[in-house]
Chains A and B, each alone.
Chain A
């Protein structure tokens, strides 16, 4: 075997081993790499009340309510399987609206998620406002949740 073939084999084998090791590490740390838990994950985990975590999903249609003169917002986050009620005191991002993706950070206390930060999640659809209107009017509107399911951002509603 020529020297350059030896080097080629060595580099190829080293890369394969490295890829394997990385895959194992990423699988083992999956719990820590996810940015948020879905409501279903959260109910299954039942985390301690002092543990900070994030919950993500869609803002349930018709679930947004304001209390305390508008300073406190309550809404429900859903993954279409389970929902978690959220309370939040503060300023919401512009993209926050019903049916849109959201990530809330805070603590789960007595079944209610007390958020101290709410981030809006954007989907991968980009279009002018007129096109969005036309799609809605013609009934071809593909909702965010379909897109999220298709792209694996959310579990399929009928898959479990």
Chain B
């Protein structure tokens, strides 16, 4: 792991990955949207509104995936003091926040015609809203210090505390009576979703995951380069004063 923790090696290795991640993202999202919006059948109960699912469900998965990756990176940064891990956690937060926001908005748009309400304070929706606030709090805390290292340490602790919310989100629909339906794809006894609807969903999920990789790589590279510029500036200031 130490081999990859070297910023210069990371800059060199990540460069060729970015165009591939971009290509996979564009291809998978294009195929997923085409299948989901034009080829997949309407649902026997929900009719055409089911198509919101093709954006909502992968967004919700990514919201959780980004949080777990962010918390893992934050833990590595906190315990082993890898500077790259801190940068990866920082770079993941806004991506996760966007996916969470997308999941909340698309869920609300689906909820109005299906449930009859834009929003309900049930366990699933409330815990996802808390997840969104955790992302916002992480970003605010990370930027609240003049010293980036202190900001990374304080926000890493917040990210780790927030991990308790992840199983609550996942199992909220099983532990308590909730308005939100339980899981359809990852469940005992196989998915309870027809293959013609599962395929577009999986394409979207792969596309969103590779989007995450694409954007986080670009953001980490940006952070590394920003750090280098900061170091050069400091040297110039100290050089001028001497």
Which residues of A are in contact with B by a Cβ distance under 8 Å?
4, 7-8, 11, 14-15, 18-19, 22, 26, 30, 33-38, 56, 92-96, 103, 117-133, 147, 150-153
Contact = CB atoms under 8 A, between A and B. Distances in A.
Q: Is the interface of A mostly helix, strand, loop or mixed?
A: mixed
A35 B176 CA distance: 8
Given A124-B183, A126-B53, A152 B174 contact: yes
Contact of A121 (B80, B115, B194): B115
16 contacts: A18-B164, A19-B164, A22-B164, A35-B121, A35-B123, A38-B177, A117-B116, A117-B117, A121-B181, A124-B182, A124-B193, A126-B46, A126-B184, A126-B197, A128-B44, A151-B182
Interface of B: 41-46, 50, 53, 75, 78-81, 113-117, 120-123, 160-161, 163-164, 168, 173-179, 181-184, 187, 189, 192-194, 196-197
Given A124-B192, A125-B184, A93 B79 contact: no
B187 A8 contact: no
Contact of B80 (A4, A133, A152): A4
B28 to A, nearest CB: 20
A129 B44 contact: yes
Contacts of B173: 151, 153
A13 to B, nearest CB: 12
A147 B46 contact: no
Contacts of A93: 113-116
A137 B196 CA distance: 20
A33 B164 contact: no
B194 A56 contact: no
A124 B179 contact: no
A132 B44 contact: yes
Contact of B176 (A30, A125, A130): A30
Given A128-B44, A129-B44, A4 B181 contact: no
A128 B177 contact: no
Contacts of A118: 116
B116 A119 contact: yes
Contacts of B163: 15
A36 B161 CA distance: 29
B179 A35 contact: yes
Contact of A128 (B42, B160, B164): B42
A3 B184 CA distance: 45
A125 B183 CA distance: 9
B81 A33 contact: no
B126 to A, nearest CB: 9
Nearest to A125: B192
A34 B53 contact: no
B182 A7 contact: no
Contact of A127 (B178, B182, B193): B193
A146 to B, nearest CB: 11
Nearest to A6: B79
B81 A36 contact: no
Given A4-B80, A35-B120, A122 B183 contact: no
Nearest to B193: A126
A155 B131 CA distance: 29
B185 to A, nearest CB: 9
Contact of A95 (B80, B114, B182, B192): B114
A15 B44 contact: no
Nearest to B182: A151
A127 B43 contact: yes
A34 B124 CA distance: 10
Contacts of A150: 189
Given A93-B114, A153-B182, A128 B187 contact: no
Contacts of A127: 43-44, 193-194, 197
